[in-house]
Amino acid sequence: MACELSQTQLHAYFDGELPALDAVSFEKHLETCPDCKRQLEAEQSLRDSLQQADLYERAPAPLREKLQPRTSATPPIPIRTSMKPTSWTWLAAAAALLLALITSWQYFGRVSEPSSTQIIASTLVDAHLRSLEPGHLTDIESTDQHTVKPWFNGRLDFAPPVQDFSSDGFPLLGGRLDVVQGRTVAALVYGRRKHIINVFVEKSQPGISWKGSGTTQGYQWLAWQKNGFCFFAVSDVSAADLTALKQLLLTS
Amino acid sequence: MLEGEDRARFEAVVLPHLDAAFNLARWLLRSRADAEDVTQDALLRAFRAFGSYRSGNARAWLLQIVRNTCFTWMRENRKREELSEFDENRMPQEGENPETLAIASHDRGQLVRALDTLPAGFREILVLRELEGCSYREIAEITERPIGTVMSALARARQQLRGALTQPAAKEARRGL
């Protein structure tokens, strides 16, 4: 057996590394090539096994303490390593980003109106990226939902649903306030293996449309509404992981 | 050595990738205890070399130091056959058979045993891609290989892993007969 492409393009396609045009032609090829179809299924099955086996081995606490003696706590996922004040480089980068956003907004505004979904997606993906800067991830760092939930009291005009899903592989890491398009929203921070997921929560109201799913700047996002809240989850985890977290939040 | 501000910058930029460093060392060396020593050594090297780090991908920068430290350590401490990164010519290129392509799920123990039988270079590339989620470009940077080599090595690493996973089952089946 073995179609020639199953050893070359197939892997780049499987890993999302094939340029868009090549990916389209490879998908056409897949429709007619049972070899490649079968190989792709086998690759997915192997990846599923590797993901589910939880093979990632974190640095043991004694090693962490040796290398970073000032930190007494040993968080399972490295979060705050520095409490340095905002640096000028960061401010400059933020300003450049803002300028780029405004410029592209004006540009696209003239050519074709970007949908409100696209705008909100890129705004929230930016907020996700900002949160990954050292010291920006959480305002309240706790895995205890009974600590995080009351923290939002008085800081927002709504009470976001906060729940820990450690037993399902999505530990709550903390919470944060973000300002999105002039409104203050809650950001719940979850871990997934060594990845970070931000779930932004906002009160549903006319003019807010958080819905759909997609990929923006290489980050997966998924939006939905429930019980008068809008949710927007964004991360570098797989779409399947985001869907699993959505299901947990929907059924909680 | 670094002091004050540089030390704080190192802690902010490099230390967040300590888990990535340890995970790669653990899989390359197949031992948590050895990985602990070698990771510490690699972090010290990174600390000393931090003056030459400008900006860019800190994880890839650190992981390159970690993998080089691991391979040096293996050359000094392990038998020769263990450290073959991977031989470009030795590996069979033919396609897989239906047995290895069969869809099956494997538990953690099976996967650990199968991964441990692979050449270190194949383990490395699988760990970087499947556990660490590195892009081809990052893997190329870390392992100092062209992207094309990364892609073909990844294809063969997956094939070998599938082979290693089905071998014990095949042996048991034969024993059963």
In this prediction, residue A229 carries a pLDDT of 87
Contacts of A136 in chain B (CB under 8 A): none
In this prediction, residue A206 carries a pLDDT of 72
Q: Nearest CA to CA, how far is B91 from chain A (Å)?
A: 13
Residue A153 has pLDDT above 60, yes or no: yes
Average pLDDT across chain A, whole number: 81
Of A59-68, A123-132, B82-91, B97-106, give the lowest mean pLDDT range. Answer: B82-91
- Which residue on chain A is closest to B42 by alpha carbon? A67
In this prediction, residue A100 carries a pLDDT of 76
Domains of chain B: 1-83 (1.10.1740.10), 84-177 (1.10.10.10)
Average pLDDT across chain B, whole number: 83
* Record: contact A42-B136, CB cut-off 8 A: no
Domains of chain A: 117-251 (3.30.200.100)
Q: Nearest CA to CA, how far is B33 from chain A (Å)?
A: 10
Q: Please report the residues numbered 100 through 129 in chain B whose beta carbons come closer than 8 angstroms to any beta carbon of chain A.
A: 100-108, 111-112, 115, 126, 129
In this prediction, residue B86 carries a pLDDT of 59
Question: Could you tell me how far CA B139 lies from the centroid of its own chain?
Answer: 10
Total CB pairs under 8 A between chain A and B: 127
In this prediction, residue B144 carries a pLDDT of 92
ipTM of the complex: 0.85
Q: Nearest CA to CA, how far is B177 from chain A (Å)?
A: 27
* Record: contact A2-B94, CB cut-off 8 A: yes
Task: Report residue A72's pLDDT band, with 50, 70 and 90 as the boundaries.
Answer: very low
Given CB atoms, is A73 within the 8 Å cutoff of chain B?
A: no
- Which residue on chain A is closest to B96 by alpha carbon? A2
Q: What percent of chain B has pLDDT over 70?
A: 79
Beta-carbon contacts of residue B58 (< 8 Å; ≥ 6 apart): B13, B14, B16, B17
Residue B169 has pLDDT above 80, yes or no: no
Per-residue burial over B8-42, b if 16 or more Cβ lie within 10 Å, else e, is bbbbbbbbbbbbbbbbbbbbbbbeeebbbebbbbb
Of A88-92, B81-85, B109-113, B138-142, give the lowest mean pLDDT range. Answer: B81-85
* Record: contact B103-A58, CB cut-off 8 A: no
Contacts of B58 in chain A (CB under 8 A): none
